[in-house]
Amino acid sequence: SQQGEEDPQALSIQEGENATMNCSYKTSINNLQWYRQNSGRGLVHLILIRSNEREKHSGRLRVTLDTSKKSSSLLITASRAADTASYFCATAQYSGGGADGLTFGKGTHLIIQP
Amino acid sequence: DAGITQSPRYKITETGRQVTLMCHQTWSHSYMFWYRQDLGHGLRLIYYSAAADITDKGEVPDGYVVSRSKTENFPLTLESATRSQTSVYFCASRGAGVNYGYTFGSGTRLTVV
């Protein structure tokens, strides 16, 4: 079953604008991760935020996490055509063994118009 | 992706046939995972492994078998392929710490006819 749900399902913006994607989840987590997938390719890890963190930055990416609302957002600033891809949030809930795997949402398809 | 290789890239097989998808990683990561990606379902975990000879079921394990005799290899076998197993399969690996991202392979697109 899906843990994370991204919103919106699709987003189209102009190059140079900022893109914001949201993710909601259902159970308590150890960390939340964002991945990018270009068409026909594998997923690429973008950023990880731990459950005790509220905000994290990496280059043009900014991730926030609100564990009280069980939600996260990914902001891509100054978007570029190369940012066109699908973006997935994934949550990690480790029961002790450490290898329980990530649970992915269905993704947001981002299109950057030139 | 550098360091984790999946083969074949594309595969067409017939219903009822056995097929094995290969996954090889060069980082000596302890943890490896198999996911399938389908429209409308996103990525779902099939099996995972914490180390050589240690494997466990994920969300959708029925019809699949895995083995891990060596740390670097984690093959996924469809014992008797069905049309519902038509999908894109991704292998991933992760280091020992829980707060690390996963590295994914490029995927195998499997079509069962």
- CATH code of the domain containing B31: 2.60.40.10
Q: Give B50's contacts in chain A (Cβ within 8 Å).
A: 97-99
Please list, in sequence order, all residues whose beta carbon lies within 8 angstroms of the beta carbon of residue B93, skipping any fewer than 6 positions away: B4, B25, B27, B29, B31, B32, B33, B102, B103
Question: Is A4 in contact with A87 (CB distance < 8 Å)?
Answer: no
The domain in which residue B53 lies consists of 4-112
- Walk me through the domains of chain A, giving residue ranges and CATH numbers: 5-113 (2.60.40.10)
Query: What whole-number distance in Å separates Cα of residue B36 and Cα of residue B29?
Result: 20
Closest in B33, B49, B103 to A45, CB measured: B103
Length of chain B: 113
Tally of domains within chain B: 1
Q: What percent of chain A has pLDDT over 70?
A: 91
Which pLDDT does position A3 carry in this prediction? 64
Query: Using CB atoms within 10 A of its CB, is residue A75 exposed (0-12), middle (13-18) or buried (19+)?
Result: middle
Alpha-carbon gap, residue A41 to A22, rounded angstroms = 23
Report the mean per-residue pLDDT for chain A. 91
Q: Chain A partners of B40 at a C-beta cutoff of 8 Å?
A: 106
Closest residue on chain A to B90 (Cα): A42
Confidence class for position B1, pLDDT limits 50, 70, 90: very low
Q: Give the containing element (helix H, strand E) for A58.
A: strand A55-58
Residue among A98, A102, A106 whose CB faces B102 most closely: A102
| Interface mutation vs chain A, best among B98, B100, B109, most A CBs within 10 Å | B98
Residue B95 has pLDDT above 90, yes or no: no
Question: Which single residue is written with the structure tokens 């056995």?
Answer: B18
Tokens of A77: 């600033």
β-pairing verdict for B19-25 and B42-51: unpaired
Residues 6+ apart with CB under 8 A from B35: A104, B43, B44, B45, B46, B89, B90, B91, B92
Where is pLDDT greater, at A97 or A43? A43
CA angle A38, B59, B72 (to 5 degrees): 65
Q: How far is B60 from chain A (nearest CA, A)?
A: 10
CB-CB under 8 Å, A45 with B106: no
Hey, are the CB atoms on B41 and A106 less than 8 Å from each other?
yes
- Return left, alpha or beta for A78; rule: phi > 0 is left, psi -120 to 50 is alpha, else beta: left
Residues of A in contact with B45 (CB under 8 A): 101-103
Arithmetic mean of pLDDT, B22-32:
94
Say if the Cβ atoms of B49 and A107 lie within 8 Å: no
Average pLDDT, chain B: 94
